[in-house]
Amino acid sequence: MSRATPAGRRSAAPPAKHAKPSRAARPAARAGAAAQPPEHAPAAPPASTPGRGPAAAGRAGPGTGGAAPSAAAATAPLPATTTATRRATMTDVAIRAGVSQSTVSLVLNGTAGVRLSAATRERVAAAAAELGYRLPGGRAPLAAGAGAEAASTSASPGTPRRAGARRAGPPLIVYLADEISTSPHPVVTIDGAKDEAWGAGAVVTVVATRGKPEVEAAALQALLDHPALVGVIVAAVFTRATTVPAALDGVPTVLLNCYEGTPADAAPPRRSSVVPAEVAGGHAATERLIEAGHRRIALINGEPWMDAAQDRLKGYRRALASHDIAYDARLVKTGDWHVATGYDATLALMKERQPPTAIFCANDLMAVGCLEALQLLRLKVPQDVSVIGYDDQEIARHTHPPLTTLELPNYEMGRLAVELLLAERAGADAARRRIKVEGRIVERQTVGPPAGKPRAR
C-alpha cells in the first residue's frame, strides 16, 4: 500500500542542539507534500536470509512460508498462504548499474527510439548478467521495437479488414486499478505485470477507475467479451480488503495488493491474491537496527487504520520481543506518511528524557522529514542517530546521507499476479492462494552502531 510524493525542501540553518524550530523553519512539505499512504508490498528475500531482514533482507514473517508459484505448480494442492521465493529483479539490476529502473527496462526490453549511451547499455547488460537476471519467461532482451510491434492488435498495413470484424489478437489481461496517478508505486507494479505477460506472449491493458463504480462497470462491459481475454487483475493502491465486482463471477481473477474477507481467514480463498508481507517487513527493518547494536529504537508509523501501519507495528514489536527489548509506547509516534509528520515526530522523540539512538520510519517520505529534523538539531546520521526507511522510493537514493531502507517489491507483486492468473487459466482446478511477498533491506548510509560503540569491520 504505499503512496508517496516529493519531499519538502531543506530547513533553514539549524539552531542549537535540540532547540525547537520555528514553524517557518519547518520543511516546505508541511504545507502539503502530496505524499500518499504506502501501497505496501515487499519483495521476496534471498533464500539465505529470513523475512525482510537486516543486512540481507527478509526475516520470515509470522504465518508465511513456502515458495512462489510457477505456472505448472499452481495446479497442485498447496497451502492457502505462501511466501514468494526471491529472484533478481529489475530493482537489483538498477542498483547494481547505478541507473533508474526505467533505464533498465528500456535497455533490456530493447525499446526503440531511446537515446542511451553505449556505456549505459553495456553497464546495464553487465549488471543483469552478474545477477543472473532474465526478463520474465527467461527470455533474452527483445530486439528494438519488437515489443511495440507485437503488442499491436491492429491489422497489418495493407491487410484488408472486414467491417465490424474483431480480431482476437494476442492473449489479453485486463488490469483494473482504483488509482494510478496518485502514487508512484502502481506504475512499477504495472511494469512487473506487463513484463511477465509479455514473456508469456500476452499483453496487458490498464484501466484506472478512480474508485468510480460507473467507470468500473463500463470498462468491464467493454472488455469482458473480448475474444482474447485471459482474465482480470483487480489492483488497489493501498493494501486493503475489497469487494470484487459481480461481473467477474466465473472470470479468472487475481487480486493485487488487496484481498477478500480478512487477512486471518483460514478458509481457502475464492480468488488468489498477492499482498505485501508487512509484518515481516516491520520485523526486518527493526531487526536491522538491533543487529547494529541499538536497543532504544523508535517507530514513526503511518495512519493506524491502514493495514500497512498495523502490520509494520506488529513486526516492530515482535522484533523487540525476540531480543528481550521492552516495548516503550513513548517511542512510537503516529504519522500520516508525509514528510512533515516525520519531521515533527522526530523532534518530539528527541525531547524524550532518554531519546532513541535509532528511528524506524514506516515509509521513506517520513524518513526524509526525520533526517531534516536531525540535521536541524545538529545530530549526525548515523553517528548520533541511525535511521531506516521503508519503500525504497527514488528519493531514498538522494537524501544526505543516502537512506537505508526496505524495498517495497511492487514489480515482483505485479509479476506474480500475472503468473497466478496464467496458471489459473491453464488449469481450472488450480489452487487459489494468498501470496505474501517479502522485501529486502537496501543498504545505504544511514544505519550504524550507537554512539560510542565501534563499527563492525
Report the alpha-carbon distance of residue 424 to residue 12 in Å, rounded. 56
pLDDT of residue 119: 84
Q: Which of 283, 321, 278 is nearest to 302 (CA)?
A: 278
The 10s digit of each residue's pLDDT in 55-82 is 333 333 333 333 333 333 333 334 455 5
Strand partners, 404: 388
Q: State which amino acid sits at residue 229.
A: L
CB-based contacts of 64: which residues, under 8 Å, 6+ apart? 51, 81, 82, 83, 277, 280, 436, 438
Residue 47 pLDDT class (50, 70, 90 cuts): very low
Report the alpha-carbon distance of residue 28 to residue 8 in Å, rounded. 5
Asked if the model's pLDDT at residue 192 lies above 80, the reply is yes
pLDDT of residue 357: 98
In this structure, what C-alpha cell is assigned to residue 277?
A: 508481507
In this structure, what C-alpha cell is assigned to residue 402?
A: 543516502
Q: Which residues of 248-265 are buried (b: 16+ CB within 10 A; e: fewer)?
A: beeebbbbbbbbbeebee
pLDDT of residue 151: 35
The 10s digit of each residue's pLDDT in 117-133 is 888 888 888 888 888 88
Tell me the percentage of the chain whose pLDDT exceeds 70: 68
Asked if the model's pLDDT at residue 284 lies above 70, the reply is yes
In this structure, what C-alpha cell is assigned to residue 103?
A: 533505464
The 10s digit of each residue's pLDDT in 366-381 is 999 999 999 999 999 9
Average pLDDT of the chain is 77
pLDDT of residue 432: 83
The 10s digit of each residue's pLDDT in 147-179 is 333 333 333 333 333 344 455 688 999 999 998
Q: Which residue has the higher pLDDT, 8 or 136?
A: 136
In order of their start, the domains of the chain are: 25-43+279-406 (3.40.50.2300), 73-138+170-276+409-438 (3.40.50.2300)
Number of H helices, E strands in the chain: 11, 13
The β-bridge relationship of strands 405-406 and 441-442 is antiparallel
Residue 14 pLDDT class (50, 70, 90 cuts): very low
Q: What is the pTM of this model?
A: 0.67
Q: Which residue has the higher pLDDT, 189 or 434?
A: 189
Asked if the model's pLDDT at residue 42 lies above 50, the reply is no
pLDDT of residue 76: 36
Asked if the model's pLDDT at residue 46 lies above 60, the reply is no
Asked if the model's pLDDT at residue 15 lies above 60, the reply is no
Poorest-pLDDT segment among 78-92, 179-193, 325-339, 341-355: 78-92
pLDDT of residue 84: 58
pLDDT of residue 48: 35
Instruction: DSSP for 280-324, please give it.
Output: HHHHHHHHHHHHTT--SEEEEE--TTSHHHHHHHHHHHHHHHHTT
CB-based contacts of 177: which residues, under 8 Å, 6+ apart? 186, 190, 206, 207, 208, 209, 235, 236, 237
pLDDT of residue 454: 57
> Rounded to the nearest 5 degrees, what angle is found at the Cα of 388, between the Cα atoms of 382 and 392?
125
